[in-house]
């Protein structure tokens, strides 16, 4: 297994993480040997098509996988300790305290029988020892920060009295209220309008600068990655296929899948009439019927014989960037002239 070298000490290292779902005799390997690290005080973006294992990776880190799912291997090293070896009681203390999560589905983390203020305020009561009244005042401040109108009224309402977008923002307020050391944000702003989205990303950045919070940002939006992330892990079919510093990834994407993702981004600096948005051909293979070799091979314009036969390893270069592709593999003895960048439209 490769180790990741970063200029910063990692707060979290995920090593060969494996999570499967078991239905009947079938094992679906949703997360299949994932490796990445999150340097302290930095933001790691996780990107990849729907079903690539982004949410299951984050739920596995927090040990929130439920039956028929199970973490079947690997390590989740947070501040030097493997979370997979902690007791459930220890995990409860870590969740919502040292690590907090903004879930893709807001209703999963809001309790319908408590008001918004009771739920956000709990963090202030537990972590800062505030009384009820002060905790409500701080909750109102948090609601203001995430752009909720009439926060004095909303703080006394129940989740079902709020719109979906507002619930999402309440959840963000809750996740940020305890000043976590690591925030895992799963598509935090996808459902929100652009202004609110910008406001919330700004708020996260501000907390990161002030408190040194580390962030895992899961998103479909490469624009959000470019703006907010320091590093990025690209996932495909339960595996990381490229890990790089963000600037490096946008300047010099190497994996054919990453190249395809970037090519499908609308560009503002190209005349719209001339622009032909390329999409990655084909679709993601079924997790119960994965290709034997490289999982991207059926869609890859550069696939050669070896790709269909053998899965490439995640290999690291001297800068700590990683790639899982035969073209870049030191083990590969194929045609050195193959140039994936010839396919780029930029
Ligand atoms: N409850 C479940 N039962 C069986 N398989 C599951 C279950 N939840 C997830 N999976 C499997 O895990 C894979 C990864 O799911 P995950 O939710 O992590 O995808 P994702 O990358 O977060 O996608 P999206 O971008 O749509 O949120 C799915 O393709 C599916 O095969
Ligand atoms: S290993 Fe082969 S099929 Fe897979 S991405 Fe690289 S070139 Fe394409
Ligand atoms: Mg998801």
| Whether the predicted pLDDT of 31 surpasses 50 | yes
Q: Domain for residue 300, yes or no?
A: no
Q: What is the mean pLDDT of residues 59-77?
A: 97
Q: Which domain holds residue 125?
A: 106-179
Q: How many angstroms separate the alpha carbon of residue 57 from the centre of ligand 3?
A: 9
- Note the pLDDT tens digit of each residue in 114-134: 999 999 999 898 888 899 999
When comparing pLDDT for 330 and 260, which is higher? 260
Listed residue (47, 65, 48) closest to 56, CA to CA: 65
The whole-model pTM stands at: 0.89
Q: Domain for residue 112, yes or no?
A: yes
Structure tokens at 317: 């270069």
Q: How confident is the model at residue 322 (pLDDT cuts 50, 70, 90)?
A: very high
Q: Structurally, how many domains does the chain consist of?
A: 1
Q: Domain for residue 133, yes or no?
A: yes
- Ligand 1 atom nearest the C-alpha of 235 is 21
Give the contacts of 76 (CB within 8 A, at least 6 positions apart).
Answer: 12, 13, 14, 15, 17, 60, 61, 82, 83, 84
The whole-chain average pLDDT of the chain stands at: 88
Cβ(297) – ligand 2 distance below 6 Å: yes
Give the integer Cα–Cα distance in Å for 288 and 214. 34
Closest ligand relative to 49 C-alpha:
1
Q: Domain for residue 167, yes or no?
A: yes
Cβ(296) – ligand 2 distance below 6 Å: yes
Cβ(53) – ligand 1 distance below 6 Å: yes
| Whether the predicted pLDDT of 321 surpasses 70 | yes
| Whether the predicted pLDDT of 273 surpasses 60 | no
When comparing pLDDT for 53 and 272, which is higher? 53
Residue ID of nearest Cα to ligand 1 atom 4: 21
Cβ(323) – ligand 2 distance below 6 Å: no
Q: What is the pLDDT of residue 105?
A: 75
Q: Domain for residue 313, yes or no?
A: no
Q: Domain for residue 124, yes or no?
A: yes
Q: Domain for residue 134, yes or no?
A: yes
Cβ(115) – ligand 1 distance below 6 Å: no
Which residues, listed in sequence order, are joined to residue 17 by a DSSP beta bridge?
A: 34
Q: Domain for residue 252, yes or no?
A: no
């Amino acid at each position: 297994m490769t180790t990741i070298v970063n200029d910063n000490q990692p707060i979290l290292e995920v090593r060969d993480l494996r999570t499967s779902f078991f239905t009947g005799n079938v094992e679906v390997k949703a997360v299949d040997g994932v490796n990445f690290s999150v340097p302290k005080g930095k933001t790691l973006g996780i990107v990849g098509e729907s079903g690539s294992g982004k949410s299951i990776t984050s739920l596995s880190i927090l040990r929130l996988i439920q039956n028929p799912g199970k973490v079947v291997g690997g390590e989740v090293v947070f501040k030097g300790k493997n979370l997979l070896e902690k007791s459930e009681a220890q995990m409860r203390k870590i969740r919502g305290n040292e690590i907090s999560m903004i879930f893709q589905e807001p209703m999963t983390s809001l309790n319908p029988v408590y008001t918004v203020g009771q739920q956000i305020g709990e963090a202030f009561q537990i972590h800062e020892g505030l009384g009820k009244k002060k905790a409500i005042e701080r909750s109102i401040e948090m609601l203001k920060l995430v752009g909720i109108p009439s926060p004095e009224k909303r703080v006394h309402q129940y989740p079902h009295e709020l719109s979906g977008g507002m619930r999402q923002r309440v959840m963000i307020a809750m996740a940020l209220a305890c000043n976590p050391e690591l925030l895992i944000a799963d598509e935090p702003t996808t459902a929100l309008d652009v202004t609110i989205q910008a406001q919330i990303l700004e708020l996260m950045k501000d907390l990161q600068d002030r408190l040194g919070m580390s962030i895992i940002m899961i998103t479909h939006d490469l624009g959000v990655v470019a703006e907010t992330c320091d590093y990025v892990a690209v996932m495909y079919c339960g595996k990381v296929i490229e890990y790089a510093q963000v600037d490096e990834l946008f300047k010099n994407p190497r994996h054919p899948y990453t190249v395809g993702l970037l090519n499908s981004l609308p560009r503002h600096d190209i005349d719209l009439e001339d622009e032909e948005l390329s999409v990655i051909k084909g679709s993601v293979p079924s997790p119960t019927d994965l290709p034997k070799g490289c999982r991207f091979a059926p869609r890859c314009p550069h696939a050669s014989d070896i790709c269909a036969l053998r899965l490439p390893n995640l290999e690291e270069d001297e800068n700590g960037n990683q790639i899982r592709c035969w073209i870049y593999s030191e083990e590969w003895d194929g045609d050195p002239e193959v140039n994936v960048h010839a396919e780029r439209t930029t």
